[in-house]
Amino acid sequence: MTDLLTYTLEDDVATIRLDDGKANAFSNAMFDAANAALDQAEGEAKIIVLRGRDGIFSAGYNLKELMLGGETAVNLVRRGSEFAVRMMRSPKPIITAGDGHIVALGAFLFLAADYRIGKRGPFTVGLPETAKGLPMHNFGRELAAPRLSRRHFSRSFINGEMFSPETAVDVGFLDEAVDDVDAAIAKAVAYFRSVSLHAFAINKPRGHQTLYPVLEQAIEDDMDLKVG
């Protein structure tokens, strides 16, 4: 589709594969491409897979754009939050699959997905903002709090500790860590094909309905976030 990602449709499954040849950092251009791909997927697929390139799902925001600070940085962060909410509002099951590191915004997008797969290996998963000297946003807190293990929340969100894929299952970032990501995706797809996707489209927003307004308010509160 673009030089930032590829889009494929096989039967009823759309796969959006982030691949900028580097760290899959989310710039404004990456958000444009990802939103366009999600538009297409929601229009023609029953199940959506959001996947990274070999070695990394995403390292988070594009730091060159983020470090410009001011309105530019705030709007970039807003786009990340809005994309996560869009994933949660999508009536289609969204499977996230990481073939390597899952970092910062990448980890937040995993928290917004319906099923999360990570690859075993020398990879890290988590939120390194504290270690990188970056402030956490309100949206990230509200998204992470109900999804991360209570005993790991401070270590992850506040301390900025990074975890192995295996440990990330216990922490709450992943549903499973596997050796064969393709096989795990196929298994997850088979599961969603086996259930009523009509009922899924009803139950997904019902499951998230108390969180949606909290996330939307957090996005507005983040408009005065100091970044850069």
pLDDT tens for 96-105 read 999 999 999 9
Percent of the chain's residues with pLDDT above 70: 99
pLDDT at 227: 62
Q: Is the pLDDT of residue 92 over 60?
A: yes
pLDDT tens for 180-199 read 999 999 999 999 999 999 99
Closest CA to 56 of 24, 28, 27: 24
How far apart, in whole angstroms, are the C-alpha atoms of residue 26 and residue 219? 17
Q: What are phi and psi of 184, to 5 degrees?
A: -65, -40
Is the distance from CB of 97 to CB of 186 less than 8 angstroms?
A: no
Q: Is the pLDDT of residue 214 over 70?
A: yes
Q: If you average pLDDT over every residue of the chain, what do you get?
A: 96
Provide the residue ranges of all domains of the chain, joining segments of one domain with +: 5-181+195-224
pLDDT tens for 13-50 read 999 999 999 999 999 999 999 999 999 999 999 999 99
Dihedral Cα 149, 77, 98, 122, nearest 10 deg = -80
> pLDDT band at residue 224, thresholds of 50, 70 and 90?
confident
Q: Which amino acid is at 154?
A: S
Q: Is the pLDDT of residue 75 over 60?
A: yes
Beta-bridge mates of residue 145? none
Q: Is the pLDDT of residue 145 over 60?
A: yes
How far apart, in whole angstroms, are the C-alpha atoms of residue 154 and residue 89? 27
Q: Is the pLDDT of residue 1 over 60?
A: no
Name the burial class of residue 183, with classes exposed (0-12), middle (13-18) and buried (19+) by CB atoms within 10 angstroms of its CB.
exposed
pLDDT at 115: 98
How far apart, in whole angstroms, are the C-alpha atoms of residue 104 and residue 157? 10
How far apart, in whole angstroms, are the C-alpha atoms of residue 12 and residue 138? 36
Average pLDDT over residues 115-134: 96
pLDDT at 228: 55
Closest CA to 114 of 222, 52, 204: 204
Task: Assign domain 5-181+195-224 to its CATH superfamily.
Answer: 2-enoyl-CoA Hydratase; Chain A, domain 1 (3.90.226.10)
> Would the CA dihedral through 148, 154, 160, 166 be positive or negative?
negative
Is the distance from CB of 174 to CB of 125 less than 8 angstroms?
A: yes
Q: What is the DSSP letter of 104?
A: T
